[in-house]
Structure 1
Amino acid sequence: MSKDRLVIFDTTLRDGEQSPGASMTKEEKLQVARTLEKLGVDVIEAGFAIASPGDFDAVRSIAELVKDSTVCSLSRAVRADIERAGEAVKVANSGRIHTFIATSPIHMKYKLQMEPDQVVEQAVNAVKMARNLIDDVEFSLEDASRSEFDFMCRITEAVIAAGARTINVPDTVGYGTPEEYGDVIGRMIANIPNSDQAIFSVHCHNDLGLAVANSLSAVHQGARQVECTINGLGERAGNASLEEIVMAIRTRQDLYPVQTGIRTENIVPASKLVSAITGFPVQPNKAIVGANAFSHESGIHQDGVLKHRETYEIMKAEDVGWNTNKLVLGKLSGRAAFSSRLDELGIGFDTKEELNDAFARFKLLADKKREIYDDDLRKLVSEMHNEHPPLDTEGHVFKLVTMDVDSRMGETPVAHMVIKEDGIEHDLKGEGNGPVDAVFKAIEGLANSGCELELYNVNAVTAGTESQAEVKVSLNKGDRKVNGSGADLDILVASAKAYINALNALGREERTNPHIGAV
């Protein structure tokens, strides 16, 4: 029996980037887009084109880059948004405009301050405007899980008649539960006269930890597109996790009459890349992509797996990409082998100079670290992008030159540093309650940024005592929040890099983190 195709709509680059602290540069977005295309994602929501010139540029660049996936831009149901989205994706092989308006009584009354008839009229006009620009239009009923059923049916019938070919019914605030949410999807499909002219989609948030369960319930009731993110990134508690949706459907084919086009062996590499770029570590017990997902501590479990794997494993680790972590390259490896491995990881460069820079950094790391892993490469490339942010006319470029930290038990730590500001070297000294505090105070002695440190987080890039340390910092200045990450075998050097990269982010001309709206 043939199975329906389930469209996988990935919104890591839009909703995922709205996770506090997860903003990405244009170059990082392009890396993720390449990886999503390689993964086999059907639709890549590349961003919110109207949010800023930087976000528009990122969406347009992804639309030019990606050939095998549909590239989508989100827009509110207003002319300026729709025209901007259309301009951004018109260069794509396959483009989509995704427009939305709130449909719940609470949103219509307090946020939109509109009557239901006005909301329907604006939704229909938005879809018609979008269809004049592009054939593929998706419409979302924001806060659908708190909307009235009859009104959802009314507005959905109207926008399908206006030309929408995908109808998204998002659980915007994570309020739904599997039985009721799936039931709503099934009843909408059954009761809307022209429902057969559109694909019904779901976009579930994880506020109650039910995003994946709600999505799967909707698939069971007829939804044929799921909107999700790598590692479950997203606003607040995040979105439905792509890897969990895909592997649940693949593993339980007896329950779900659908198939996806996801190349599952690329799931773990995609997870690791997104984690490295955003600085959001994956919890060890995370399903599918967590470090412990296929580990067995119990002697009973170990004995069972040794005798027959399926006694305690319902999936093969190799099927999701766990067999390709170690990179057997060293300081004697050549540029060709290095470049080939980057290609396998979905990491590309726009110029030969960038590749040469990455190779030189690889050689320096290989001199210090005996074993190089894929995660080391991902972090190396991410570091390159962090060091070269675009700046506005008031911005400054800070760069670490040298650092020496004296920290002894019972004595006040002292950091001596040389930092370049716009090419000019400055000798700095800072004292603190600990060595990291001393480093940051030395940097602030030059920058005088007035920022408040909101987050300082350290993780190991790979396993073992030779692992690079990855440091992530978040700085807050007034209504601006910036993030920086750094990696090095020395935690203090990584910390200095992260802080400096965050300061450099203050000078960026455009930010690509969209916060205008969400579905």
Structure 2
Amino acid sequence: MTAFDHRKYRPAPAINLPDRQWPSRTITRAPRWASVDLRDGNQALLEPMNVGQKQRLWALLVKLGFKEIEIGFPSASQPDYDFARWLIEAKQIPDDVTVQVLVQAREDLIVRTFEALQGAKRAIVHVYNSTSTVQRERVFGLDRAGIADIARQGAAMVKREADKHPECEWTFEYSAESFSNTEMDFVVEVCEAVMDVWQPTAAKPCIINLPSTVESSTPNVYADQVEYFATHISRRDALILSVHTHNDRGCGVAAAELAVLAGADRVEGTLFGNGERTGNMDITTMAMNLYSQGIDPELDLSNPDEIIAVTTECTGIALHPRHPWFGELVYTAFSGSHQDAIRKCLHQQKEDEAWQVAYLPIDPKDLGRDYQAVIRVNSQSGKGGVAFVLERDYGLVLPRWLQVELAQVVQKASEAVSGEIDSASIHALFRQHFVADSGALALQGYQIRHEGGHDAVDATVDEKGVSCQLRGEGEGALSAFINALMRYSGRQINVVDYSEHAIGTGTDAEAAAYVQLNINGQRYSGAAFDHDTVSASLKAVLSALNRARAAGGSDVLAA
């Protein structure tokens, strides 16, 4: 038997719930959010937050729209006690925000907690004790009755201290710590005992919180546990059912979402999932999951840069670039096929229709992101990404055949540097390889005449310092110019494809022209720009000819 041996573990037991209802439900509105960043998140830090950091994070949580915020464990920490006093004495708690504090079911700690809250208009006192089998047997050495008695006594002490301060609007919260590792019938028994003490009503409910203190099962099992509790507890209308999931298996968000389907009204968590071990449930992820389904998350997450900056400064934990919704790279496509699909969808997306863009579950602009970061180019990228970058940053709408050629150039350049190629470099590569209208051949001037239903062109082209007079006819200026070049050079030149568009609008708009020529059986592409559309098209032809000359090593117009 090696150290890495799965046989020493047992699967989480399933819940007998044959008539479960949660799989057929859908989430239609956001739950009540409760931030535990300043308590659960803070106690998990290598260096807990100082007063200034707590104040800054508090301000952010209020700004985001949290209405219930757990501010600490004032009976166990002097900084937490002082922070609670600062919030109350400095009148930093908005009228629509309720502070929450955590306390163990011990009398001295409960008394100290109420001291910390003196003067508050409204507060949630959150008392807990552990109920799981392993905690009962191996930590406390108590049977079920002993654990239930701790919960009952804790609830009584909380009520007693609250009665001393009727000026405050109190809400009581109880957590059966390690709920998900406790027998369900016993959890119901303990919570019934707590509610017998508090006597909650529909008008004045208590909060019963069901934490997966250590995530040890698949999310569906947790959902079954929550639904079991919701359907077996009495006075369901007199309690707010809350969940507090952890992320040990990487399923904290999924477990919370399924718990809401199973009947949970309230969700506790932290920004970006900060917390002990692998962290708490990530409220930002769950809220954005709802947003992406057309549900108002009731939190303002529209400025992620501010949220990231504040949480990073306060926790000392950097956000992973692939973090859901908010990571630096989550809206970035390097894959060529992804880039092409995104570019095509964005072209078709209308302002007044539901969002339908491949590979982008939401519009990045909703989170203050622009399309600069959506498509970035490296050696894995294809023509779609290259084309997107040039169109986005330079207004160049390359035809497909030119996209293919340029993508090969960019890929080689990316492989050479073993990394990403930025927009300016792609533009430079495009001009270097395809815009060659001022090379060996350069247009000096032209005149267009309409004769007998055809166009005739007289053009002056400089070839390595020698002026050449060309004359040709055809259907349009481009065709006439090609005819003139063939007459002069004796080469067979055919236009395979041609494209043009304006860059910008108004009188100062520039024309971009792209042409692909077949010269004696070989294809060459060229591009050019000019404020005159005809001039741009003729220069694009000369760009292609210059590229042919560079490839073949001979003069183009020499007979």
| TM-score for both structures, normalised by structure 2 | 0.54
1:151 aligns with 2:186: yes
1:66 aligns with 2:90: no
The amino acid that maps onto 1:271 is I
1:140 aligns with 2:169: no
Equivalent residue number for residue 89 of structure 1:
117
Equivalent residue number for residue 318 of structure 1:
365
Once the two structures are superposed, the pairs formed by residues 297-312 of structure 1 within 5 Å of their partners are 297-309=334-346, 310-312=357-359
SS in 2 for 1:137: strand
Cα offsets for 1:2-22 (capped at 9, x unmatched): 955511111111111122414
Cα offsets for 1:471-510 (capped at 9, x unmatched): xxxxxxxxxxxxxxxxxxxxxxxxxxxxxxxxxxxxxxxx
Q: Which of 134, 140, 155 pairs up with 1:112?
A: 140
Whether the 8 Å CA contact 1:175–1:208 is kept in 2: the answer is yes
Following superposition, the deviation at residue 289 of structure 1 comes to 1.6
Whether the 8 Å CA contact 2:213–2:246 is kept in 1: the answer is yes
Following superposition, the deviation at residue 317 of structure 1 comes to 2.5
Equivalent residue number for residue 14 of structure 1:
39
d(CA) in 2 for partners of 1:150, 1:2: 27
1:277 aligns with 2:314: yes
Following superposition, the deviation at residue 297 of structure 1 comes to 1.6
d(CA) in 2 for partners of 1:315, 1:22: 36
SS in 1 for 2:328: coil
| TM-score for both structures, normalised by structure 1 | 0.58
d(CA) in 2 for partners of 1:298, 1:269: 29
1:122 aligns with 2:168: no
Provide the aligned length of Structure 1 versus Structure 2.
Answer: 321
Following superposition, the deviation at residue 107 of structure 1 comes to 0.7
Following superposition, the deviation at residue 320 of structure 1 comes to 3.4
Whether the 8 Å CA contact 1:175–1:207 is kept in 2: the answer is yes
Following superposition, the deviation at residue 58 of structure 1 comes to 1.3
Distance 1:268 1:155, change over 3 A: farther
d(CA) in 1 for partners of 2:283, 2:107: 31
Task: Give percent identity, aligned residues only.
Answer: 29
Once the two structures are superposed, the pairs formed by residues 214-233 of structure 1 within 5 Å of their partners are 214-233=255-274
Whether the 8 Å CA contact 1:38–1:266 is kept in 2: the answer is no
Distance 1:290 1:243, change over 3 A: same
Equivalent residue number for residue 209 of structure 1:
250
Distance 1:153 1:259, change over 3 A: farther
Distance 1:104 1:38, change over 3 A: same
d(CA) in 1 for partners of 2:27, 2:220: 26
Following superposition, the deviation at residue 266 of structure 1 comes to 4.2
Whether the 8 Å CA contact 2:288–2:297 is kept in 1: the answer is no
Equivalent residue number for residue 418 of structure 2:
none
Q: Which of 12, 17, 28 pairs up with 2:53?
A: 28
Equivalent residue number for residue 330 of structure 2:
293
SS in 1 for 2:173: strand
Q: Which of 182, 207, 211 pairs up with 1:170?
A: 211
d(CA) in 1 for partners of 2:153, 2:170: 15
The amino acid that maps onto 1:250 is Y
d(CA) in 2 for partners of 1:319, 1:5: 18
Equivalent residue number for residue 224 of structure 2:
183
Cα offsets for 1:115-137 (capped at 9, x unmatched): 22122222122223223415201
What is the RMSD of the two structures over their aligned residues, measured on CA atoms? 2.4
SS in 2 for 1:96: strand
The amino acid that maps onto 2:63 is K
Gaps in structure 1 of 5+ consecutive residues:
326-519
The amino acid that maps onto 1:108 is R
SS in 2 for 1:265: coil
